[in-house]
Structure 1
Amino acid sequence: MKLLGKKVLLVSRCAWTMYNFRRNLFREIQARGGAVVAAGAAGDGFEAKIQALGVPFVPLPIDKSGINPRADVILLWTLYRWYRRERPDIVHHFTIKPVIYGSLAAQMAGVPRVINTVTGLGHVFMAKERVWLRRLVELMYRLALRCADLTFFQNREDQELFVERHLVARSKARMVAGSGVDLEYFQPSGGRQADSGTGCRFLLMARLLREKGVYEFVEAARLAKQEYPETRFELLGSRDERNPTVVPLADIEKWSEEGVVNWLGETQDVRPFVAEADVVVLPSYREGTPRALLEAAAMEKPVIATDVAGCREVVEHGINGLLVPAKNPRELEAAMVAMREDPALRARMGKAGRVKVEREFSEAIVLQNILKAYTEVAV
């Protein structure tokens, strides 16, 4: 799987996602003789980290607030001019705007091979009240994915949805197990394990968006604390004011004042927080492949998630965690109480989670599949 002399451009929504999810892909491309350049929105402080890996970073005008015709045309034009100037052999896009506008720009610029990764469907596909917007985005995907040689999906249900709605040809669609987990970096910590009835700690680790199930987690915590006041519930993740479904800071402060949940802020290294948790929870409405659950499982933590696309590919109910219906705080509370009451169950599920991640979601497996696709189309 050599890429000797090939130039590969990797384009994502921002430097943060590129560094946190793709840095080992940089290394693998370089190790195979390829030249790699990364691009995305700048300003989050991760540009220098990418450059420290020997990878140039190109800032792009990606508007994260939603569809903005003027900003999106500027992005399309910027990508087109950059691709014409760089003359890459392969361009790989991640996340919605790079996938859509990058694919169109690559076609216009005559890029030889184009690969995409649809990392998740986002709030557009879940907002039932804005059907017109979903249809517009579907049309844009349909046009863009025709310009690509291959599109990766991170769960089977997203892939089938795109195929059934004729957004992508089945022959151009392929599964990949998320961005994978670095099993050397995320290892069992041997950290705390609460006894039944004392101080069990539940951690929701995600961007603080409504569709991540934050409100359901808080309501479930409120219910559980009525009977088990010593149980701790914590939020770990960033807030992005440009996202229309961001959880207001006032709500987070109110929950903290009430003693329902504690917001830990955001961090560049989640491992110490996962190590101190007894159970990691993700009551999301839909996922691509939820990295938070994979990282928790890699560290032998049991997980609770919603029975939705993406989550159910990671969680085997009763084996490495529990699945509950989406948008149902009472069922979520019941699952958390069940975990709280049974330390042996938590330990057993934690060990099963590590085995599952090693078998199915290792970053080494994911990188092998991506690099294979590169060499398939790089000839």
Structure 2
Amino acid sequence: MKTKLVRITTVPVSLKVLLKGQHKFMSEYFDVTGVSSSGQELYEVKDSEGINVVAIEMSRAITPLSDLKSLWKTYQFLKKQKPQIVHTHTPKAGIIGMLAAKLAKVPLRLHTVAGLPLMEAQGTKRKVLDFVEKLTYTSATKVYPNSKGLYDFILKNNLAQSKKLKVIGNGSSNGIDTRFFSPENINDEQKDQLKKDLNITASDFVFVFVGRLVGDKGINELVQAFSQISKNADRSKSVKLLLIGPLEEHLDPLQPETVQEIKNNPDILDLGFQKDVRPYFAVSDALVFPSYREGFPNVVMQAGAMELPSIVSDINGCNEIIVEGQNGMIIPVKNSDKLKVAMEKILSDTDLYQKLKINSRPMIQSRYEQSVIWNELLKEYKTLLKENNIDV
């Protein structure tokens, strides 16, 4: 009889994408069940990962009545299943899953922190989010910040004690599959066709951003910096900017002038959400990722594995994946002038660019290969089970 492991996320896409492959790996050692709100992705996880799934509705917003219903249903489920381990990801799943697991007397209650919305919150909202995080961590037996920066932030803000915290491996929730994210998987014919479709010429230097097009991803600063560069560019090395991701106008909308520049600048290609970002990395020269806050951004690891250097803001996660002058450049957060300087530097300094590019993939492979992260987490599970005298 295998030990029961329940993994909980707020929405099914997190189970499917952020933890892809990890459930299947863990199911070799545990009886794994994935829990999240309902949705097609939840049942795709069941098929692709070969695990049990259960739908329990959870809201991403602050909705007290709905949250109480979610808490009650999660408690009932855990009380019936009696798992030895409950491991939660994402903020709402964390508070509901950890409280329910404590009430159900689950011995090992684990929560991974992969970003903190409270970092950008102020006033009453910040106080509420602080309270929720503290309650989540108090209910957990172990908390895993997925970056050293998050670890430091949690300690500095007295959200949890150091004895409860641990970073798995070098950080990241799931590592990166460098066999999948490899430039070898995109052939010259595919690249040539995509360049033709996007009107990218041999003389173009292509910057790419992948993520939600919202304010706290630094899109306003990126578009402002790029606009100045594109207008002043030496036409022997023209520039383009690919924006890969959905425009979320209802959450943290972009400034009106940013939206207009995206629409009107012919060198900015707004390509929306793309299921497979690898071809777009393959026709690009550098990632620009000036986000305000992150946990441990997958996109920076993905770009590095695809041999792209990155320009990132000086925030946790980003400033751990990127080493200044080795595989990319680090700029101050919310600073379009410094971002412009970095983009111009990587454009003009060919020797620097080649050095960053050559180092990019090896520096991801050596620190964040997916199998390394999975085995470190498995080791952690087994250690905790042994310490608590629970048979594996």
TM over 0.5: yes
Question: Which 10-residue stretch deviates more, 195-204 or 352-361?
Answer: 195-204
Cα distance in 1 for partners of 2:326, 2:41 equals 37
Cα distance in 1 for partners of 2:280, 2:84 equals 41
Gap change, CA 1:63 and 1:143, over 3 Å in 2: same
Question: Which 10-residue stretch deviates more, 141-150 or 168-177?
Answer: 141-150
* Equivalence for 1:17: 14
1:237 aligns with 2:234: no
Deviation at 1:196, TM superposition (A): 12
1:334 aligns with 2:326: no
Match for 2:80: what amino acid? R
Gap change, CA 1:42 and 1:260, over 3 Å in 2: farther
Deviation at 1:341, TM superposition (A): 2.3
Cα distance in 2 for partners of 1:324, 1:255 equals 22
* Equivalence for 1:213: 218
Deviation per CA, 1:315-334: give whole Å up to 9, x if none: 11111001111111121112
Do the aligned residues in 2 keep the contact of 1:116 with 1:150 (CA within 8 Å)?
Answer: yes
Gap change, CA 1:335 and 1:164, over 3 Å in 2: closer
* Equivalence for 1:125: 119
Cα distance in 1 for partners of 2:249, 2:107 equals 37
Cα distance in 2 for partners of 1:61, 1:188 equals 39
Deviation at 1:118, TM superposition (A): 0.3
Cα distance in 1 for partners of 2:213, 2:363 equals 27
Deviation at 1:348, TM superposition (A): 2.2
Deviation at 1:347, TM superposition (A): 3.1
* Equivalence for 1:202: 207
Match for 1:49: what amino acid? E
Do the aligned residues in 1 keep the contact of 2:220 with 2:255 (CA within 8 Å)?
Answer: no
Cα distance in 2 for partners of 1:333, 1:250 equals 18
Do the aligned residues in 2 keep the contact of 1:306 with 1:324 (CA within 8 Å)?
Answer: yes
Gap change, CA 1:239 and 1:8, over 3 Å in 2: farther
Deviation at 1:197, TM superposition (A): 9.4
Unaligned runs of 5+ in 2: none
Deviation at 1:86, TM superposition (A): 2.1
Spell out structure 1 runs of 4+ moving beyond 4 A: 190-197, 239-242, 246-254
Deviation at 1:152, TM superposition (A): 0.6
- Matched position secondary structure for 2:27: helix
* Equivalence for 1:115: 110
Deviation at 1:113, TM superposition (A): 1.0
Cα distance in 2 for partners of 1:252, 1:49 equals 35
1:163 aligns with 2:160: no
1:148 aligns with 2:140: yes
Do the aligned residues in 2 keep the contact of 1:196 with 1:343 (CA within 8 Å)?
Answer: no
1:180 aligns with 2:175: yes
Match for 1:35: what amino acid? D
Do the aligned residues in 2 keep the contact of 1:114 with 1:149 (CA within 8 Å)?
Answer: yes
Unaligned runs of 5+ in 1: none
1:376 aligns with 2:383: yes
1:103 aligns with 2:79: no
Do the aligned residues in 1 keep the contact of 2:24 with 2:51 (CA within 8 Å)?
Answer: no
Question: Which 10-residue stretch deviates more, 49-58 or 304-313?
Answer: 49-58
Equivalence map 1:1-379=2 (5 Å): 5-32=2-29, 34-43=30-39, 45-53=40-48, 54-64=50-60, 66-122=61-117, 124-127=118-121, 130-176=122-168, 177-178=171-172, 179-189=174-184, 198-228=203-233, 230-240=238-248, 244-247=251-254, 252=259, 255-259=262-266, 261-378=268-385, 379=390
Do the aligned residues in 2 keep the contact of 1:154 with 1:288 (CA within 8 Å)?
Answer: yes
Deviation at 1:274, TM superposition (A): 1.0
Count of residue pairs the alignment pairs up: 369
Do the aligned residues in 2 keep the contact of 1:99 with 1:144 (CA within 8 Å)?
Answer: yes
Match for 1:109: what amino acid? A
Deviation at 1:71, TM superposition (A): 2.1
Do the aligned residues in 1 keep the contact of 2:211 with 2:246 (CA within 8 Å)?
Answer: yes
Query: What percent of counterpart residues are identical?
Result: 25
Gap change, CA 1:16 and 1:327, over 3 Å in 2: same
Deviation at 1:252, TM superposition (A): 4.3
Match for 1:156: what amino acid? K
- Matched position secondary structure for 2:362: helix
- Matched position secondary structure for 1:134: helix
Gap change, CA 1:336 and 1:368, over 3 Å in 2: same
Deviation at 1:253, TM superposition (A): 6.7
- Matched position secondary structure for 1:146: helix
Deviation at 1:344, TM superposition (A): 4.2
Gap change, CA 1:248 and 1:264, over 3 Å in 2: farther
For normalisation by structure 2, the TM-score amounts to 0.87
- Matched position secondary structure for 2:32: strand
Cα distance in 2 for partners of 1:341, 1:25 equals 41
- Matched position secondary structure for 2:373: helix
Do the aligned residues in 1 keep the contact of 2:27 with 2:51 (CA within 8 Å)?
Answer: no
Deviation at 1:208, TM superposition (A): 2.1
Match for 2:346: what amino acid? M
Match for 1:346: what amino acid? Y
Cα distance in 2 for partners of 1:24, 1:311 equals 23
Cα distance in 2 for partners of 1:276, 1:91 equals 41
Cα distance in 1 for partners of 2:143, 2:123 equals 24
Deviation per CA, 1:289-343: give whole Å up to 9, x if none: 1111001111111111011222111111111001111111121112112222244
